[in-house]
Structure 1
Amino acid sequence: MSTSLLIMLVAAYLIGSMSGARITSRLFNTSSPIEHGSKNPGATNMYRIAGFKPAICTFTIDVFKGTIPLWGAYFLGFQPLELGLIAISCCIGHIFPIYHKFRGGKAVATAFGVLLPIGLELGVALALTWIVTAYKTRYSSIASIVAVSLAPLFVWLLKPKYTYAVCMLTALIIIRHIPNIKRLLQGCEPTIDNKRERNS
């Protein structure tokens, strides 16, 4: 492993460790996302406990913290497999953030962010897949699983050289959603609209 790749992996992890939900909860003075709702520091849970604007803010931060290191690595000339490792490092930072006692989220928005540099068409395809699935099912977890599962296919159709790297990222996100899959099978997974713990 080259020194430059090692530096990028560490930088991506540290950037990924910044929590959009925690930053947003301070900006909007809302309840802590790790103590309310699904206790997941992500955009969907911020929507449940605080509403639309904090959710959008959380999503935006988490997307950009994925996009920035990947854009940098892309312009520095890293190869597709190396970009995949950097993307995974960034998402691992979101899942196990060093700044927050390694208690993180599902990394869906961050994964979306690291995929954006591949192409706008991919971003549109993934966003539409998530939106349509979420609208039909009302489950953010199902929408996320469907979108990331289709990501390798979309990439293969658009830019095949990144397919293996995206497959690695897809595997990470699906593994992170195993608890959600279990709750879905048990019928106790909260829907997007579930705001029983939302503050007044």
Structure 2
Amino acid sequence: MEVKLIIFLIIAYFMGSIPTGVVIGKKFKGIDIREHGSKNTGATNAYRVLGKQYGIIVLLADALKGYLPVFLAHLAGINGWQLILVGLVTIVGHTLSMFLKFKGGKGVATSLGVFLYLVPNIVLILVAVFILIAFSTKYVSLASVSAAGLFPILVLFMPVKPELGKWNMFGFALIIALFVIFKHRSNIQRLLHGNENKFGAKK
């Protein structure tokens, strides 16, 4: 493995690990969002606990920390499966943060940032699906799981940048989809039992 790739993998993990929800909650509200709501560090819980403004900021920050590592790595000449690996490590950093004793969020917003750079055409469809489901059902978790499940299917049937490789990208999409669904397993249980928190509800 070349030195340049190793450097960018370290950068990717570090950037992914930055717990934006925790930092913003403590800095601007004096609140540790890990102690409130669903206790998750992501944008949905930030919205619920900190309010709409800060929830949107956390969403954008988490997406940006997913976008930047792959953007910078690609700019430096990293491509193909190596660029995909940078994206994967970024998402792992978010879900297993070095700053949170290797705990973290569910990876949805950070994955959005990674894939917005890698496969923007597919992400636009997923965002539309997410918004449609989230606002029609008021369940963000259902929207997240649905978009995650659709992701590898779209990668399989839609154009992907040749330099990434169709099957490389499909494998990556499948891994992330399964991972996101796994991280939402408690939400899925609550959905099945009819007691999942709805979007906008304050708990």
TM-score of the aligned structures, taking structure 1 as reference length = 0.89
**Offset, 1:121:** 2.4
Match of 2:187 in 1: 180
**C-alpha separation in 2, matches of 1:189 and 1:84:** 33
3-state secondary structure, aligned to 1:34: helix
Q: Do the aligned partners of residues 123 and 87 (structure 1) sit closer, same or farther apart at CA in structure 2, a change above 3 Å counting?
A: same
CA distance in 2, matches of 1:52, 1:140: 14
Q: CA deviation at 1:118?
A: 2.1
The aligned counterpart of 1:135 is: 135
Identity %: 34
Decide whether the 8 Å contact of 2:29 with 2:50 is kept in 1. Answer: no
Q: Quote the RMSD (CA, aligned, Å).
A: 1.8
Give the Cα–Cα distance (whole angstroms) in 2 for the partners of residues 11 and 141 of structure 1.
29
Please name the residue that 2:159 is paired with.
158
Which one-letter code corresponds to 1:178 in the other structure?
Answer: R
Deviation at 1:59, TM superposition (A): 0.4
Q: For residues 26 and 194 of structure 1, what CA distance do their matches in structure 2 show?
A: 21
Whole-angstrom CA distance in 1 between matches of 2:190 and 2:78: 39
Does 2:200 correspond to 1:193?
A: yes
8 A Cα contact 1:16 1:92, kept in partner: yes
Matches within 5 A, 1:7-156: 7-156=7-156
The one-letter code of the counterpart of 2:6 is L
Aligned amino acid, residue 114 of structure 2: V
Instruction: Give the partner amino acid of 2:21.
Output: A
SS of the residue 1:39 aligns to? coil
For residues 81 and 167 of structure 1, the distance between their equivalents in structure 2, rounded to whole angstroms, comes to: 14
**In 1: Cα distance, 2:159 partner to 2:19 partner:** 31
Counterpart Cα distance in 2 of 1:8 and 1:121: 25
**Helix, strand or coil for the counterpart of 1:133?**
helix
- Structure 1 unaligned residues grouped into runs of 5+: none
Offset, 1:177: 1.7
Which structure 2 segments of 5+ residues have no match? Answer: none
The amino acid of 1:55's aligned partner reads G
Secondary structure of the residue that 1:158 maps to in structure 2?
Answer: coil
Provide, for residues 162-193 of structure 1, a one-character-per-residue CA deviation record: whole Å limited to 9, x for no partner.
32222222222222222222222233321112
CA distance in 2, matches of 1:2, 1:147: 34
Give the TM-score of the pair, scaled to structure 2. Answer: 0.88
Q: Which runs of 4+ in 1 moved over 3 A?
A: none
AA of the residue aligned to 1:46: A
Distance, in Å, in 2 between the alignment partners of 1:53 and 1:89 is: 29
For residues 68 and 17 of structure 2, what CA distance do their matches in structure 1 show? 13
Q: Following the alignment from structure 2 to structure 1, what is the Cα–Cα distance between the partners of residues 193 and 66? A: 32
Which of 167, 172, 177 in structure 2 is aligned with 1:170?
Answer: 177
| d(CA) in 2 for partners of 1:39, 1:87 | 25
Tell me how far 1:119 sits from its aligned partner: 4.1
CA distance in 1 between counterparts of 2:77 and 2:177 reads 23
